[in-house]
Amino acid sequence: LRTDIAAALQQLGIESENAAASSGSEWFGMTGALREVHSPADGALIASVHMADEAAYETILTRAQEAFPVWRSTPAPVRGEVVRQIGVKLRHYKEALGQLVTYEMGKVLSEGLGEVQEMIDICDFAVGQSRQLYGLTMHSERPSHRMYEQYHPLGPIGIISAFNFPVAVWSWNAMLAAVCGDVCIWKPSEKTPLTAIACQRIVAQVLQENDLPEGIFNLIVGDATIGKKMAEDRRLPLVSATGSTRMGQSVGQAVGARLGRSLLELGGNNAIIITPHADLELAIRATAFGAVGTCGQRCTTTRRLIVHEYVYEEVKNRLLRVYEQLRIGDPLKGDTLVGPLIDRQAVETMQRALEQVKAEGGNVLVGGEPLQGSGYESGTYVRPALVEAENHYATVQEETFAPILYLIRYEGEIEKAIALQNDVRQGLSSALFSLNIHETEAFLSHAGSDCGIANINIGTSGAEIGGAFGGEKETGGGRESGSDAWKAYMRRQTNTINYGRQLPLAQGVSFDI
């Protein structure tokens, strides 16, 4: 193993063979099947992890249930103090954890570090939130009555996260859930379990230092059968899941069948619109980052570029120049812009999508091919593709988790572009580049973008944690991270208190006994 990674693993407490499940610092499940984790960067074996079996799952659930009554009775600002300490520890481990995110997942180092920064940011946000779990007060229609609402902890919650943000999306959920008084059970993607194990170890230190029950934060590494168990488990009142629409449909249906709550953050098919009034310099930069950043593996990745015919040729030529110069390679190397895809299967999926779009009439302008030769031995590197296509193509309607940008031409007014942008089943992120107020306001109006995120003169990806994150339609409707997303992790209770000596009924109803 390369020495920088060996040092990071050691600092983070990752062993060559790791247990499947953990409650704080206790580890269980050394008997399940062993899964090897290889780096997409160079194909090297990083470490192995046992996959959780039924027994490990039950142990984790029990630990979580035991910890919940203690944690929910801990005052919210004290819970916030624990999260503050997690944020401090994350700062300490930022370099090592960021490196491991990069090596295990493949995103370039500045994004690996950025992902850890996103965790630190949500910790800080959650600390403040811990003193602001506000409910409203209402004026009662009855004399000598008052009404208010309060938010109570919900219970043990399940968090299912995806490989592409192997740790940040967990932290959005877990840190808010923690200040809300919930305990959590985290199933990371089985493609990226090592960064999850590292986070669990960091959090365990804080729990121990504060003499808290270890079952407040739990980890379980398993495949889809564990995810299914979580979705069906009545002991988990909320399951938050991030991943493909197909995964979300099965989780959502299973949770719905028991009338539990699910918080879904699923696929996107995000577009940038470039109008004749755009600052093209900004638009090109934002498009490049949105389309090829993270090798096209963000749920917010720019997948469609809807360009007005007046500027279409210029945008196309400028993008071609950018695509021809992209530095593709080792994600740990400082100046790399595009790292590998997560695995060879992702490369095949990308190839299939390109074949399909060509068959539908699409024109591949540049890229798409898997890269070979020195530095690319892992077979996971591709050249990002720029493809002229039409919005209605079946391939364009799908989210392919790879760097393929579809160039779509529009004519006429902004409403035409908005209609194209909305004409997909997903509704996560969207952006418009224009300096014309008629266009920008139309895009943000009720008749504008139908997405959960709509931006002006910045791209579709790279949201800050302060806003609510999520989207509509097949994206699943959930909102995580900032704003009032914390409410999803609590149960609301409406309280009416009578401090008078009469019992007036609401709506003027009389009932004399």
List of E strands, 101-257: 137-138, 145-153, 156-160, 183-187, 217-220, 238-242
Q: By C-beta, is 421 or 455 nearer to ligand UN1?
A: 455
Terminal-residue alpha carbon distance, the chain? 82
Alpha-carbon gap, residue 460 to 469, rounded angstroms: 12
Q: Do residues 242 and 160 touch, judged by C-beta distance below 8 A?
A: yes
- Site for ligand UN1 contains 300 (CB under 6 A): yes
Stretch that binds ligand UN1, among 21-29, 221-229, 293-301, 324-332 (CB under 6 A): 293-301
Stretch that binds ligand UN1, among 54-62, 404-412, 442-450, 458-466 (CB under 6 A): 458-466
- Site for ligand UN1 contains 165 (CB under 6 A): yes
- Site for ligand UN1 contains 463 (CB under 6 A): yes
Q: For residue 372, with 0-12 CB atoms within 10 Å meaning exposed, 13-18 middle and 19 or more buried, which class applies?
A: exposed
Q: For residue 124, with 0-12 CB atoms within 10 Å meaning exposed, 13-18 middle and 19 or more buried, which class applies?
A: middle
- Site for ligand UN1 contains 461 (CB under 6 A): yes
- Site for ligand UN1 contains 130 (CB under 6 A): no
Binding flags for ligand UN1, 378-417, as an x/- string (CB under 6 A) = ----------------------------------------
- Report the candidate in 416, 402, 408 with the shortest Cα–Cα distance to residue 389: 408
| 439, amino acid identity | E
Q: By C-beta, is 53 or 399 nearer to ligand UN1?
A: 399
> What letter would DSSP give residue 214?
G
Q: What share of the chain is helix, strand, coil (3-state, %, to 5)?
A: 40, 20, 35
Task: Please give the torsion angle defined by the CA atoms of residues 97, 99, 103 and 107, in that order, rounded to the nearest 10 degrees.
Answer: 100
Number of chain positions touching ligand UN1 (CB under 6 A):
11
- Site for ligand UN1 contains 170 (CB under 6 A): no
- Supply the minimum distance, in Å, between the C-beta of residue 461 and ligand UN1: 4
Alpha-carbon gap, residue 29 to 20, rounded angstroms: 5
| 472, amino acid identity | E
Binding residue for ligand UN1, selected from 102, 164, 400, 455, defined by CB under 6 A: 164
Q: CB count, 10 Å around CB of 504?
A: 15
Q: By C-beta, is 101 or 207 nearer to ligand UN1?
A: 101
- Supply the minimum distance, in Å, between the C-beta of residue 475 and ligand UN1: 10
Residue 508: φ, ψ to 5°: 70, 15
Q: By C-beta, is 147 or 458 nearer to ligand UN1?
A: 458
Pairing verdict, β 238-242 and 385-388: unpaired
Please tell me the number of Cα atoms within 13 Å of 235 on its side-chain side. 16
Stretch that binds ligand UN1, among 15-23, 223-231, 306-314, 456-464 (CB under 6 A): 456-464
Residue 441: φ, ψ to 5°: -70, -35
Q: By C-beta, is 216 or 451 nearer to ligand UN1?
A: 451
- Supply the minimum distance, in Å, between the C-beta of residue 133 and ligand UN1: 24
DSSP helix/strand/coil, 146: strand
- Site for ligand UN1 contains 298 (CB under 6 A): yes
Stretch that binds ligand UN1, among 76-84, 294-302, 381-389, 485-493 (CB under 6 A): 294-302
Question: Which residues, 199 to 238, sit near ligand UN1 by CB under 6 A?
Answer: none
Q: By C-beta, is 123 or 311 nearer to ligand UN1?
A: 123
- Supply the minimum distance, in Å, between the C-beta of residue 70 and ligand UN1: 32
| 367, amino acid identity | G
Alpha-carbon gap, residue 201 to 203, rounded angstroms: 5
Binding residue for ligand UN1, selected from 102, 242, 434, 475, defined by CB under 6 A: 242
Q: By C-beta, is 192 or 461 nearer to ligand UN1?
A: 461
Alpha-carbon gap, residue 313 to 307, rounded angstroms: 9
Alpha-carbon gap, residue 391 to 306, rounded angstroms: 9
Binding flags for ligand UN1, 95-124, as an x/- string (CB under 6 A) = -----------------------x------
Active-site residue list = 265
Stretch that binds ligand UN1, among 135-143, 231-239, 292-300, 370-378 (CB under 6 A): 292-300
Q: By C-beta, is 181 or 267 nearer to ligand UN1?
A: 267
- Site for ligand UN1 contains 22 (CB under 6 A): no
Binding residue for ligand UN1, selected from 119, 169, 286, 305, defined by CB under 6 A: 169
Count of all residues that appear for the chain in the document: 513
Alpha-carbon gap, residue 115 to 121, rounded angstroms: 10
Q: By C-beta, is 213 or 248 nearer to ligand UN1?
A: 248
- Site for ligand UN1 contains 455 (CB under 6 A): no
Q: Do residues 166 and 189 touch, judged by C-beta distance below 8 A?
A: yes
Q: Which residue is nearest to ligand UN1 (CB)?
A: 463
- Supply the minimum distance, in Å, between the C-beta of residue 114 and ligand UN1: 8
Q: CB count, 10 Å around CB of 43?
A: 15
- Site for ligand UN1 contains 440 (CB under 6 A): no
**Residues in the site for ligand UN1, rule: CB under 6 A?**
118, 164-165, 169, 242, 298-300, 461-463
